[in-house]
Amino acid sequence: MKSPETPPPGGMLLLNKPPGRTSFQALGQVKKALGTKKVGHTGTLDKFASGLLIALAGKATKLVPRFEAFDKTYIGEITFGKETDTLDPEGSIIAEAPLPGLAALEASLAEFRGEILQKPPAYSALHINGKRAYELARSGEAPEMKARPVSIYSLELLSYQEEDGRVRSAVIRAEVSKGTYIRSLARDIALAAGSRGYLSALTRIKIGDYKLEDALDLETADNQAIIDALNTI
């Protein structure tokens, strides 16, 4: 007769996910350390992205929907002149355009502050007719991505790099509502500035009141560090 499993520890972990690792892989590291499969996250970060990932373990997983509703803050880099199918550095180039001027870029940012309608990326985990959008896109189909309302509470230009008097890349800081795709925001900013663009780097620095500076670095953490960092809820 199989003995009952020890109830998994319940609590919350603030994690700093490194780029090059999926959110699923990051959770795998946590599951192994805690000795349980009952671990969920409260908002996926793309593989190329880094930053704050909140993991909930044990009984705390029931709080996932509440945490998913929190506003989020990101710092992202937009590379102009080219657009990829995935809207990130891992995709294939599908369009090219001249680089924007600084004035055009600054004017385009103003268009996206407040409540807007945003079309999610085709390469996303949204369900369309029972399938993930990215599954349809990878199979050669063009999923219909309907625009939906999101809120951009703040959008700042932090820095930019020029090439022959035009903007080659720009770093932005965005505080946004649940459901906002920064990849889509990068695409739309570039289009509004008369160019094309994709999100070349992304770091999530805040979820609700939780900050990246308080997170455990998964790149250097061992199992004991993960166990010690678990906060009981």
Paired strand residues for 209: none
* HEC per residue, 133-193: HHHHHHCCCCCCCCCEEEEEEEEEEEEEEEECCEEEEEEEEEEECCCCCHHHHHHHHHHHC
5: left (phi over 0), alpha (psi -120 to 50) or beta: beta
Q: Which of 46, 88, 164, 209 is catalytic?
A: 46
Contact 19, 48 (CB under 8 A): yes
- Tokens representing residue 55 in the block: 């993991």
Residue 214 is among the residues annotated as catalytic for this protein: no
Contact 51, 18 (CB under 8 A): no
Helix (H, G, I), strand (E, B) or coil at 31: helix
- Tokens representing residue 31 in the block: 């599951």
Pairing assessment for the beta strands 166-176 and 197-207 based on DSSP bridges: unpaired
Amino acid at 191: L
Q: Which residues are catalytic?
A: 46
